[in-house]
Amino acid sequence: MTEHPTSHEGRQPVAARPQERTRPRQEAAAHAPLPAAVPPQPPAPPEAPQDPAGLARREGDRLRFVGAATRRIARGIDLDEIVLGLCRATVPTFSDAILVYLRDPLPVGDERPVAPFVLRLRRTDRLRLTDEDTEGALMGGVQVPVLGAPAEVAPAAELCEVIAGGALAEVLRGVRPVFGDSAAARAALPELLGDGKTLPAGHRSILAPLRGRRRVTGAAIFLRRPDRPAFEPDDLLVAAQLATHTALGIDKAVLYGREAYIADELQRTMLPEGLPQPTGVRLASRYLPAAETARVGGDWYDAIPLPGSRVALVVGDVMGHSMTSAAIMGQLRTTAQTLAGLDLPPQEVLHHLDEQAQRLGTDRMATCLYAVYDPVSHRITIANAGHPPPILLHLGGRAEVLRVPPGAPIGVGGVDFEAVELDAPAGATLLLYTDGLVESRLRDVWTGIEQLRERLAATAQLTGPDHSPPLEALCDDVLDMLGPGDRDDDIALLAARFDGIAPSDVAYWFLEPEDSAPGRARRLARRALTRWGLEELSDSVELLVSEVVTNAVRYAERPVTLRLLRTDVLRCEVGDDSPQLPRQRRARDTDEGGRGLFLVNRLARRWGATRLSTGKVVWFELSTQA
């Protein structure tokens, strides 16, 4: 009796059900006699069974591979990371080798690409595995074979110029990946690989254009060995996904690279290229961005030489870490340099900076500390606008947090700033810094200041009580105190070592603005040079002093000042109450005057003139070396 299939049996694979239904008929036919006129026929080959579970598993493996590969590509930030992510994601899982071409140069954003259209071979990866390494290199249950020597993948030309209207241009314009044995690919690959270069015989390949948001940025060739399963139509979709994510990542990397370049250039131009070396003080500085991926910030430092061998020391911090913050920082730094050139007191400089910040916008806030050091008087004048207080490291190793009125940040408006004048003994080191050095998520600002003070004192103890620690090494040691979680903000650091100028190396006089002043100035200068053992400079110094003092007496109404400073150079400064700065000009043969500054320019090592709030100072320097 024949049993009917149950409902459960009815859900069996379709390929199996006809065999069960025909089995009774086949058994009956086996016992029946064959007709004499019909020869026996061979049995038909069985139909290949379809395994839905296997197909679903392979589709799931393919989707998981695409997801993992695109995540790996998306992790890259710069160009090399993205291309490497594509290669590592596809070799050996999807292909045995890959060749990646990128446009050269790569267009940025909306830029029109330059002609001609050139592709450069950016990277090639090949599978080089041992027998042990092949374990786990599976795709859909198929083991990836080991690729032989690198020579099996023919070397491709490094550069390829895409001919307009050519086969390669048509494939790239079509955007969709194509099999390597298609007519379009067979015509395009020789153009891409170069003259006389072809893919290894028997290798299966896919040519995939890399198209970004606006244009084609390159191409990729995926290769499989002959003993590996050939690419399937679904693999074209996989290649398209990989190519799309790679091209979009390349666009992102190029834009990020351009932005990083602009940020670096902006930051570099905002900060001083080098520090001056004024008389009586040595300087060192450091700047650290908050992170490598955000190199632009609002922290800055500066050292500005002032008349009278003084120097202005500035450190500031604009709130924020954007290009806007850097731009505001640049404007404030330029304003500070201009105000310093007017020789304004520190509190007046901060007042004008506050007004400038308000003109830039209502939310333009910054902190700033402005100090002026005088190496002759060994004094320093400091004004603060909401900035962390400086630390003074004395020669004996004692570190002191200076008591400076904190003030309000720049940009608040309507706030008066107060300046204090403190001793700056020879051998001491003043440290100016931004809050990124002492404040983080793990500690408050005052805890960080105390840790910095202790670090400076401990470093000074290593060099002994009679020697100050080297300035550059001191800056490096200060930055070493930062822990892994202490880089939440930019860091600007300015260190000043006060050497000062000894009173015995300074000569200072007041001269009445009368006709006899130039002659008296020559005699005083000659006596000072004799006392210092610089008699060989007497003729040049007397001539130049006479010319500068004569020009000052001509316009001055109050006593003229004359000062000589002996350091590594001989510096002469002549001050008067006239704000008009002298300008060098070429005198005509018939002119009786106008040659004084010409002589100064020819004989002096350097010279200049600076306007003060009370007048001006004209100075020149002569080398003391024979």
Number of Cβ within 10 Å of residue 52's Cβ equals 9
pLDDT of residue 99 exceeding 80: yes
The upper half-sphere exposure of residue 199, i.e. CA atoms within 13 Å in the direction of its Cβ, equals: 27
**pLDDT per residue as tens digits for the range 388-439:** 999 999 998 899 999 999 999 998 887 889 999 999 999 999 999 999 898 8
The helix/strand/coil state of 84 is helix
More confident residue, 72 or 29: 72
- Residue ranges and CATH numbers for the domains of the chain are 56-126+156-260 (3.30.450.40), 271-498 (3.60.40.10), 503-623 (3.30.565.10)
The rounded mean pLDDT for the chain is: 81
**pLDDT per residue as tens digits for the range 359-370:** 887 778 899 999
- N-to-C CA span, the chain: 129
Mean pLDDT lowest for which of 222-231, 318-327, 489-498? 318-327
Q: How confident is the model at residue 500 (pLDDT cuts 50, 70, 90)?
A: very high
The helix/strand/coil state of 499 is coil
Cα angle 509-552-559, degrees, rounded to a multiple of 5 = 45
Q: Transcribe 414-471 into DSSP letters.
A: S----EEEEE--TT-EEEEE-GGGT-BTTB-HHHHHHHHHHHHHHHHHHH-TTSPPPH
Residue range 588-592: mean pLDDT, rounded:
51
Is 566 in contact with 505 (CB distance < 8 Å)?
A: yes
- The pTM of the full predicted model, rounded to 2 decimals, is 0.67
Residue range 106-124: mean pLDDT, rounded:
77
High-pLDDT (> 90) share of the chain, %:
38
**pLDDT per residue as tens digits for the range 145-192:** 333 333 344 457 788 888 888 889 889 988 899 998 899 988 888 888
Mean pLDDT lowest for which of 285-294, 302-311, 609-618? 285-294
Residue range 59-65: mean pLDDT, rounded:
83
Q: What is the structure's pLDDT at 614?
A: 81
**pLDDT per residue as tens digits for the range 328-350:** 888 999 999 999 988 889 999 99
